């Protein structure tokens, strides 16, 4: 029969809603009753402003806590200390200006990157760009090159480090570079280490500043003469790497209770090269 049966929702003709229909109607009514009404006068605007101010205050507090943690995982520095540190950072970052062309604010080369380690050379190179350098080159092995290229199109990647002509290939680029970072993702393959020895010698001959880290420091521990008295070298060992270098250069580990004296002694033994010791107690 057309039109037969109860109406949708189970309500009887002309009677009150019941069943699912009643519940749906009740839900809509309850939802409507929960919608906050706009207060009269300026109460709504005042409340909105208070909420916005509260959110901004919470955001500022969160930023402050992030900055504090960024400067130290162990203690919170004062705002004045953080501002002084930030000002020092600003002083070394080249300002943006229309009077310079690409390459004048820093051309950096990173020597490292092999099949096992592709992240470290990427982070070293991309960090240079993020703090103001114009160009970052990565000299890595052939297997590592496609991976590092895929991380960022901003990097210039040279798959030459495991080539028989690696020293010559990198040396051709040295006149265009302002500084070299040696070691991130290098690994300890003998062929790569021999090539890096030649690259370091070529860099010293051109008086190029060199920062040595990671497995580059392991190479220096095996051959300290590579940077002996080269005062444009900066070594950045952690606690373990520092002890390894101490044993290699001084034939014993230095007293760990006086970090500054330990760094001074090792620096003097290598001809007053610059050290930045990281890790335990520093």
Q: Report d(CA 183, CA 217) in Å as an integer.
A: 7
Which residue, 157, 191, 184, is CA-closest to 173?
A: 157
DSSP 182: E
Check whether 238 is labelled as a binding-site residue: yes
For position 64, what pLDDT does the model report?
59
For position 270, what pLDDT does the model report?
93
Strands 135-140, 156-159: pairing kind: parallel
Check whether 240 is labelled as a binding-site residue: yes
How many other C-beta atoms are found inside a 10 Å radius of the C-beta of residue 134?
A: 17
Q: Report d(CA 25, CA 20) in Å as an integer.
A: 8
| Sequential DSSP letters for 192-219 | HHHHHHHHHHHHHHTT--EEE-THHHHH
For position 277, what pLDDT does the model report?
85
3-state secondary structure of 135: strand
Check whether 137 is labelled as a binding-site residue: no
Over its length of 282 residues, how does the chain's per-residue pLDDT go in tens digits?
444 444 444 444 444 444 444 444 444 444 444 444 545 555 545 555 555 455 555 655 655 555 555 555 555 667 777 788 788 777 777 777 788 888 888 999 999 999 999 999 999 999 999 988 999 999 999 999 999 999 999 999 999 999 999 999 999 999 999 999 999 999 999 999 999 999 999 999 999 999 999 999 999 999 999 999 999 999 999 989 999 999 999 887 776 677 788 888 899 999 999 988 887 554
For position 7, what pLDDT does the model report?
43
CA 87 remoteness from chain centre: 20
For position 6, what pLDDT does the model report?
43
Q: At what angle do helices 215-222 and 239-250 cross, to 10 degrees?
A: 10
For position 103, what pLDDT does the model report?
82
Check whether 239 is labelled as a binding-site residue: yes
Tell me how far CA of residue 189 lies from CA of 114, 140, 186, 220, 238, in angstroms: 9, 13, 8, 14, 21
Do the Cβ atoms of 129 and 181 come closer than 8 Å?
A: no
Do the Cβ atoms of 276 and 236 come closer than 8 Å?
A: yes
How many other C-beta atoms are found inside a 10 Å radius of the C-beta of residue 233?
A: 24
Check whether 111 is labelled as a binding-site residue: no
Check whether 25 is labelled as a binding-site residue: no
| Sequential DSSP letters for 61-95 | HHHHHHHHHHH-SSSPPPHHHHHHHHHHHHHHSPP
- pTM across the whole model: 0.68
Strands 179-182, 107-111: pairing kind: parallel
């Amino acid at each position: 029969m057309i039109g037969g049966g109860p109406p949708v929702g189970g309500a009887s003709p002309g009677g009150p809603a019941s069943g699912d229909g009643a519940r749906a109607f009740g839900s809509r009514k309850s939802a409507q009753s929960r919608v906050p009404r706009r207060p009269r006068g300026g109460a709504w605007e005042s409340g909105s402003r208070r909420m916005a101010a509260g959110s901004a205050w919470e955001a500022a507090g969160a930023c402050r806590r992030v900055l504090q943690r960024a400067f130290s995982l162990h203690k919170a520095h004062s705002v004045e200390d953080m501002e002084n540190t930030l000002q020092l950072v600003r002083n070394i970052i080249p300002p943006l200006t229309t009077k310079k062309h690409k390459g004048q604010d820093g051309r950096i080369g990173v020597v490292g990157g092999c099949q096992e380690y592709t992240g470290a050379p990427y982070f070293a190179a991309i960090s240079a760009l993020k703090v103001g350098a114009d160009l970052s080159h990565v000299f890595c092995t052939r297997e590592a090159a496609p991976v590092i290229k895929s991380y960022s199109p901003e990097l210039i990647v040279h798959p030459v480090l495991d080539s028989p002509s690696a020293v010559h290939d990198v040396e051709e680029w040295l006149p265009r570079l302002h500084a070299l970072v040696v070691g991130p993702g290098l690994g300890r393959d003998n062929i790569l280490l021999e090539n890096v020895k030649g690259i370091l010698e070529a860099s010293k001959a051109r008086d190029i500043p060199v920062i040595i880290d990671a497995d580059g420091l392991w190479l220096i521990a095996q051959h300290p003469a590579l940077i002996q008295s080269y005062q444009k070298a900066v070594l950045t060992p952690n606690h373990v790497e520092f002890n390894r270098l101490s044993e290699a250069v001084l034939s014993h580990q230095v007293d760990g209770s006086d970090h500054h004296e330990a760094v001074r002694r090792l620096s003097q033994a290598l001809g007053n090269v610059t050290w930045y010791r990281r890790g335990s107690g520093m």
